[in-house]
Amino acid sequence: MNNAAIGVFDSGVGGLTCVKELIKLLPNENIVYLGDTARVPYGSKSRETIMSYARQDIEFLKQHNVKMILVACGTVSSVLPAMDIKSDISISGVVEPAVKAACSATKNNRIGVIATSATIKSGIYGKAIRSINPNIKVVGKACPMFVPLVENGYTAPDCVPARYIAQEYLEIMKKEDVDTLILGCTHYPHLTELISDIMGEGVTLVSSGAELAKYALNSLSYSDDTAEREERESLELYCTDSVELFSENVERFLGNNINAQISKCSLKL
């Protein structure tokens, strides 16, 4: 048993999709979340900048007595293997859990991946999918406008600008007849209703954040590192910019009945 917290970070509010699933799957675990809202999005930054930001995020969480760190950011997850981080704390990204779920779900061996520009350019999802099944065709599409839409609350399926942008992005997925679509950025599940409506009922959407939370459950259970308390003691949420705006997103994505401590913190901005 291990009562230390689970650490989670993302470039903004997207990682709250992972937190929401953690709350459901691991109700006794304390959680510390960092959303680097002052520097969102990461997906349009250089590889070197992304790595620099990621190291700062990881060091911040290590100061909060965490037993594992979940990188709920597709962009950072795409560069994580190259970072060669020496740590006695487990650090896991979204790619592997999402890929395994997608490979299990596809029936026609055609998987789509939507993510930030940096993630798509890295090709990491395609490599991971083909390592499991080389016969699967992978269709990737960068969707850079999805992050600002989510960060600013434009997520409703009837939102005109969101629908217009989503239809343009997803056209290639429909043309290529993918039956499984990985939402490779944890912001994107906030657009699930809209994406699902455009893609149709026959397409399975894989939330990278939710799959990472399932991975955490399995990992902690296997190593017997789950918390022994009867209920969660704390949910600490940190942002690097406006607490007011961040709090609005927390309420929208986690619900107003969530008892959380929300604070602003400083990284090397």
State yes or no: 53 annotated in a binding site: no
State yes or no: 10 annotated in a binding site: yes
User: Within this chain, do residues 166 and 255 fall inside the same structural domain, yes or no?
Assistant: no
Query: What is the model's pTM?
Result: 0.92
User: Within this chain, do residues 87 and 115 fall inside the same structural domain, yes or no?
Assistant: no
pLDDT at 204: 98
pLDDT in tens, the chain (269 residues): 889 999 999 999 999 999 999 999 999 999 999 999 999 999 989 999 999 999 999 999 999 999 999 999 999 999 999 998 888 999 999 999 999 999 999 999 999 999 999 999 999 999 999 999 999 999 999 999 999 999 888 999 999 999 999 999 999 999 999 999 999 999 999 999 999 999 999 999 999 999 999 999 999 999 999 998 888 889 999 999 999 999 999 998 898 788 899 999 999 76
Separation in Å, CA 218 to CA 43, 80, 158, 189, 236: 29, 21, 37, 22, 23
Residue 73 CA to residue 93 CA, distance in Å, equals 7
Residue 128 CA to residue 216 CA, distance in Å, equals 19
**Domain-ending residue, one of 208, 233, 252:** 208
In a domain, 161, yes or no: yes
User: Within this chain, do residues 167 and 124 fall inside the same structural domain, yes or no?
Assistant: yes
Domain that holds residue 133: 96-208
User: Within this chain, do residues 184 and 253 fall inside the same structural domain, yes or no?
Assistant: no
Q: Into how many domains does the chain fold?
A: 2
- φ and ψ of 37, to 5 deg: -65, -20
User: Within this chain, do residues 176 and 216 fall inside the same structural domain, yes or no?
Assistant: no
State yes or no: 126 annotated in a binding site: no
State yes or no: 158 annotated in a binding site: no
In a domain, 13, yes or no: yes
User: Within this chain, do residues 257 and 181 fall inside the same structural domain, yes or no?
Assistant: no
pLDDT at 30: 96
**Domain-ending residue, one of 208, 223, 239:** 208
In a domain, 253, yes or no: yes
The residue type of 217 is: L
> What are 155-164's contacts with CB under 8 Å, separation 24+?
155/190, 155/191, 155/193, 155/194, 156/193, 156/194, 157/193, 157/194, 157/197, 159/194, 162/191, 162/194, 163/194, 163/198
CATH of the domain at 138: 3.40.50.1860
- φ and ψ of 3, to 5 deg: -90, 5
Residue 186 CA to residue 93 CA, distance in Å, equals 11
In a domain, 69, yes or no: yes
State yes or no: 11 annotated in a binding site: yes
Residue 242 CA to residue 245 CA, distance in Å, equals 5
User: Within this chain, do residues 178 and 100 fall inside the same structural domain, yes or no?
Assistant: yes
Tell me 191's DSSP state.
G
Residues catalogued as catalytic:
73, 185
User: Within this chain, do residues 152 and 73 fall inside the same structural domain, yes or no?
Assistant: no
In a domain, 72, yes or no: yes
